[in-house]
Structure 1
Amino acid sequence: MIKKQKGKLMSEKYAVQVNHLSKTFNQKKVVDDISFNIKPGEIFALLGPNGAGKTTTFRIMTTLLKPTSGSITIMGYDTQKEPQKVRSLFGLTSKDASIDKDLSARENLMIFARLNGLSRKDAKVRTEELLTEFSLINSADKALSTFSGGMRRRLDLAVSLIARPAVIFLDEPTTGLDPQTRIQMWDTIRDLVKAGSTIILTTQYLEEADQLADHIAMIDHGKMVGYGTPNELKAKVGNEKLNLKFEDENQAEKAVQSIQSDLKEKVQQNGNSVVIPISDINEVPIILHQLTQANLKISDLNVKQPSMDDVFFAMTVGKN
């Protein structure tokens, strides 16, 4: 279905389209033929180890770098052909905060609002809205030196939202924050999506991508090595694991002997602990019954699903 938005025909299906993107520096290809699409109203995460091409991809998407080949459209506009128009459609919060530490939160928002073309009256209104929305109203006129890390990150995010952008780029938005403040930022990001924004983020915290992202692109050595929902990616790297503990190492050895012949994948033993790969959760009661029949006493058990750490290791570190 096609609709007209601000005089431009665009597809409703995607807010961002990245097509065969490549970037070469000094004859070295750091981004190699990457393609993906981002739907309106979703949270999309770019993950990868240092030097993988993730940051370069992010910078090209935000028009800070030009690609060697390929194209990107944001809300139907080509980033190379109409860069100024594209920049008016997104907000960017960098891990290196853009706020002026010598000014108050109110002064920062007023300046950026005026730079975004708002009249003085409209800038005041928008500043008050954002100070309230990001719970900074009580500290609006205090020196930023009194702000916690979380407050500064909230202010930086508020600055990027002055023009109410349809697409928001967040570059490691919770780096350096304590766990409680990080969770608060997660709630803020979810609220932005509920209000209609599309979020593209990079993060060094794999749990963050697992908790927030609707889709993830995993990049390594310039190539996209994984794409999908968090659950789809975890399903690709391995099965669930049944972790068992026994009274002693001898019992664990007997447990391995009892069940290994019935399983395709190797059962691992470490002391009195046994790890059993399972492809179906319904296998668990069968295995437990078999061990009970062998008079083996289990002291502890749990079923562990693959984590994003497992995905990251299998798709990047594990391949290097």
Structure 2
Amino acid sequence: MSRTVQLLAALAAASLAFGAVTTQPASATASAVCSVGVGAVTGSGESGSAVLATMPPTWSSGLFVNKPYPAPVRLSSAIASSKNGEGDYDVSGYVVLGDTLYNTYSIVHEDGEIMARALVRIGGGWSSYVALHRSSYSAPGMLPRNTVYGLRRDGVLFRWNAANWGQKTSYPGFSAVKSMALISATATYDTFLANTRGGALYTIHIPVTSPMKPVVKLVRRSGWQGYEAMLAQKCGIYGTLLIGIDTDTHAGYLYAVGHAVGTSTVIEPRGKVPGSFGSAVYFRWISQPEPPPFGE
């Protein structure tokens, strides 16, 4: 089998594995410090590391990928990484390069050098999009669900089935949204936490049924306009750890968010994240395996 065929097969496997459900011992879940993976595209490459929910927040070690793409990245979905049997990292996700969406898979050495790469073109027309997200879910007895969302500049939110890109649906009305973070991925719905340019914070609950009919619920009326990017990760059974990134001031702030229940949702500030957030593109870095989020 040629190296190209091997890479394409691995790319397909990585897409399915992205949403795999895993379980952890209760003791490990209770004692572990929550963290959220922060991915960033810099001028020289792509980095991924985790911010721990300590007081104040601290960083864990991460992975840097040297020159992962042949062109500048405009948008990135969550990127998943896991150690393979040879001690290298399998890294996969969706990126927009210029006007085109790609599915990407790389084998990366621990020093950041790419050993092999597959870049599969999905389609063009992405220059008018301002956000790209991916949600996946699987459970025993069901086919994995792999869903891609794109927010267009005019406020239309699109959804695709990544197993069949012809299955597209959309819904208008999101032109005020500044950034979005996935906080729930279940068999029947996805939920995003979204901030607006006016400073409000909402949940966008999206059933997986078609046509797409999102349910928007207010969480906070003001105070959230400063974040150009938000990244979220499951914390505990029902909670979410959230980072808001202000690229104007190059600052990041950490929050512990309770299960989303509208304006009664508990949001606890955890402090400013050390370091500078000066990259143009941020995304969630996922270290597999991890359980799906259930923040709403």
**Greater percentage in helix:** 1
TM-score class, shorter: under 0.3
Larger Rg: 1
**Greater percentage in strand:** 2
Compute the TM-score of the two structures, normalised by the length of structure 2.
0.27
Compute the TM-score of the two structures, normalised by the length of structure 1.
0.25
